[in-house]
Amino acid sequence: MIIFDNVTKVYDDNKTVALENLSFTVEKGEFVFLVGHSGAGKSSIIRMLLCEERPTSGKVIVNGFDIGTLSQKQIPELRRSLGVVFQDFRLLPNRTVYDNVAFAMHVVGAPTKQIRRRVPEVLSLVDLAHKARAYPSQLSGGEQQRVSMARALANNPSILIADEPTGNLDLKRSDEIMAILDRINQKGTTVVMATHAEKIVNSMQKRVITLDMGALVRDEEKGGYEVGI
């Protein structure tokens, strides 16, 4: 599913070494946390999975796409195989919940019939079927994040990528989000989630990859949150 092979990322503009000789693989159906202090390189990994950034050296393979050499034209194809969720939800404020989700399917050219069937399906998966006609501003933060998860899932991605999805939420809302992520993972979708929410990581008992200054310092099955000082 995901292979990082000796990956180094140096940002051109400020010569920051964001990732250094990083190697790990994620198999189909896994649930992986990326943890570490702010600036450890979590988002850099996420952006590389989406081919927003490319490795300076080393090899990154995602769903069979080689991120280092992927042509501009192939990027949409890669992204259609992924679902992505951000800390700030990134919903369209002038569209209803339903349309925010349908939009993602329109973009990839899904037939209208399929959109009508699929949108209610994913909305009920995140327990928001009753809010289909609401606008994002009428929802709580947790509900907005669930809408963005529904959108990420609409096109049936094989990997769900989440960058600090609970960063803007309190613990109770975060637990709801985690419960849904777990449910999605149970159904076979690979989940990669960057976070520095200690309690969440400890309670989930999933694989944890710990980063420090761009280097992998720990990779544990059923791990806990230990990032050092």
Partner 1 sequence: MAFRGLKYYCSEAFKNIWYNKLMAITSIITVMSCLLIFGFFLVVQLNLNDITKQLEGQCEIQAFMPQEYNDEQAKQVCDKISVLPNVKSAILETRQQAYDNYKDTLGTAANVMENINPEEFLPASCKIRPNDISQLNELEAQVSAIEGVEEVINRRDTVNGVISVNSIIRNGCIIFAVLLALIAVFIISNTIKLDVHARQREIHIMKYVGATDWFIRWPFIIEGIIVGFLGAVVAILITLLISSLLLNALDSFGNIFQFRSSSDTMPLVSVVLLLFGVVIGALGSLVAVRKHLQV
Ligand X SMILES: Nc1ncnc2c1ncn2[C@@H]1O[C@H](COP(=O)(O)OP(=O)(O)O)[C@@H](O)[C@H]1O
Q: Which residues bind partner 1 (CB under 8 A)?
A: 50, 72-73, 76-80, 82, 84, 90, 92, 103-104, 106-109, 111-112, 151-152, 154-155
Binds 171, which of partner 1, ligand X, Mg ion, none (CB < 5 to 8 A, cut-off by type)? Answer: none
**143/164 with CB nearer Mg ion:** 164
16 binds, among ligand X, partner 1, Mg ion, none (CB under 5 to 8 A by kind): ligand X
Pick the binder of ligand X from 38, 71, 72, 137 (CB under 6 A): 38
For position 44 contacting Mg ion by CB under 5 A, the verdict is no
Tell me which of ligand X, Mg ion, partner 1, none is bound by residue 40, counting a contact when its beta carbon lies within the kind-specific cut-off of 5 to 8 angstroms: ligand X
* 72 contributes a contact to ligand X by CB under 6 A: no
Interface with Mg ion includes 166 (CB under 5 A)?
Answer: no
- Binder to ligand X among 2, 43, 146, 152 (CB under 6 A)? 43
Residue from 31, 32, 44, 162 binding ligand X (CB under 6 A): 44
* 29 near ligand X, rule: CB under 6 A: no
Q: Applying CB under 5 A, which of residues 31, 43, 98, 180 lies at the interface with Mg ion? A: 43
Spatial distance between the Cα atoms of 126 and 146, rounded to a whole number of angstroms: 6
CA-to-CA separations, 208 to 113, 180, 214, in angstroms, rounded: 40, 19, 15
Closer residue to partner 1 (CB): 77 or 220: 77
Query: Could you say whether residue 56 binds ligand X (CB under 6 A)?
Result: no
Query: For the chain, what is the HEC assignment?
Result: CEEEEEEEEECCCCCCEEEEEEEEEECCCCEEEEECCCCCCHHHHHHHHCCCCCCCEEEEEECCEECCCCCHHHHHHHHHCEEEEECCCCCCCCCCHHHHHHHHHHHCCCCHHHHHHHHHHHHHHCCCHHHCCCCHHHCCHHHHHHHHHHHHHCCCCCEEEEECCCCCCCHHHHHHHHHHHHHHHHCCCEEEEEECCHHHHHHHCCEEEEEECCEEEEEECCCCCCCCC
d(CA 180, CA 122): 11
Nearer to partner 1, 100 or 174 (CB): 100
Residue whose structure tokens are 């400020």: 14
141 binds ligand X (CB under 6 A): no
In whole angstroms, give the CA distance from residue 145 to residue 173: 9
The smaller minimum CB distance to partner 1, of residues 108 and 171, is found at 108
Binding site for Mg ion (CB under 5 A): 43
Q: Which residues bind ligand X (CB under 6 A)?
A: 11, 13-14, 16, 18, 36, 38-44
